Amino acid sequence: MDGIKILYTFELPYLGQVVITETVRNSFIVVLLILALCLILTHKMEKIPRKMTQKAAEKLVLMTEKFVVSNMGSRWRAFTPYIMALFGSSIFGSLISLTSLRSVTADINVTLTWGVVTFIMIHFFSIRQKGVLGDLKGLLEPIPVLLPMNIISELATPVSMGFRHFGNALAGTIISTLIYQALAGLTTLLFGIGIPFLQVGVPAVLSLYFDLFSGVMQAFIFCLLTMIYISNATAEE
């Protein structure tokens, strides 16, 4: 298991040395992919949908909106684009590993950043609704003695979200690498030839679970947790 490759670095005035890693490059690819997908899906839409792409686009928007509304209530309808963005970034960031590029989500910097964004949103919306004191008062509930626990629990939210996603994506990558190497060893052991033909096909089936399934699962969980935390923090009593 290699580390994350640093592709190149450059100096910027006042900002210091900028480091472009594999993760950053791949996440740009993901952004372009999402842009292309959005443009293809909404290309030449009509009032009466005839094209599959438009039907897919409508289905996607309506499904996500339903997902958001069922978890957060209809007043959070405008939150749908963010969930779509998060879901898209996460899922394509994980699935990019299917093209032998490194997963974007297998970098703690990425998933932790997303976790911190969720954390900031939780408290931004909470403060917007209840005020700073109202938000801080939540730390004293249900009894003031629990204050330290509550502080830890609040801080643990982005950390747990970030590490969960990171761990899952990384585990997928590690297992895939292990399987590749194990299969190469197995071919040599069983048939005594240097061509690792068992590497064909078998990893694909396994990566269906480790990359595809867990990638979708983690994106889903991340979005679900984001919505639930925000909606809990802003719940109206």
Partner 1 sequence: MLKFLAEDAVQGIMTPNQWTVIFTLLNLLLVYFIVKRFLYKPVKAMLDAREKEVSETYLAADQARENAESMQEEYRQRLAHAKQEASEIVSSASRKAALNSEQILTQAKEQASALLEKADRQIADEKKRAVNEMKNEISDIALLAAAKVLERDLTAEDHERLIEEFIENAEDITWQK
Nearer to partner 1, 45 or 178 (CB): 45
The DSSP annotation for 27-41 comes to: HHHHHHHHHHHHHHH
Nearer to partner 1, 4 or 139 (CB): 4
Residue type, position 94, single letter: S
**Does 11 participate in binding partner 1 (rule CB under 8 A)?**
yes
Which of 66, 109, 57 lies closest to 88, judged by CA? 57
Q: Contact 54/46 with Cβ under 8 angstroms?
A: yes
Minimum CB distance to partner 1, residue 47 (Å) = 6
Nearer to partner 1, 107 or 135 (CB): 107
> What distance in Å separates the CA atoms of residue 97 and residue 178, rounded to the nearest whole number?
15
- Residue from 9, 70, 153, 160 touching partner 1 (CB under 8 A): that is 9
92-111 footprint of partner 1 as x/- string (CB under 8 A) = --------------xxxxx-
Residue type, position 119, single letter: F
Report the C-alpha dihedral over residues 165, 167, 169, 172, rounded to 10 degrees: -150
Nearer to partner 1, 109 or 232 (CB): 109
User: Catalytic residue among 97, 168, 176, 214, which?
Assistant: 168
**Does 161 participate in binding partner 1 (rule CB under 8 A)?**
no
Q: Which two tokens stand for residue 235?
A: 């719940």
> What distance in Å separates the CA atoms of residue 222 and residue 213, rounded to the nearest whole number?
14
Burial of 70 (0-12, 13-18, 19+ CB in 10 A): exposed
Within 47-86, the residues that bind partner 1 by CB under 8 A are: 47-48, 54, 57-58, 60-62, 80-82, 84-86
**Does 140 participate in binding partner 1 (rule CB under 8 A)?**
no
- 61-108-229 Cα angle (round to 5): 50
Q: Which two tokens stand for residue 103?
A: 């997963």
Minimum CB distance to partner 1, residue 231 (Å) = 19
Q: Which residues contact 10 (CB under 8 A, 6 or more apart)?
A: 17, 18, 20
**Does 19 participate in binding partner 1 (rule CB under 8 A)?**
yes
Nearer to partner 1, 61 or 186 (CB): 61
> Is 160 designated active site?
yes
> Which residues bind to partner 1, rule: CB under 8 A?
1-11, 18-21, 23-24, 27-28, 30-31, 34-35, 38-39, 41-42, 45, 47-48, 54, 57-58, 60-62, 80-82, 84-86, 88-89, 106-110, 112-114, 117, 170
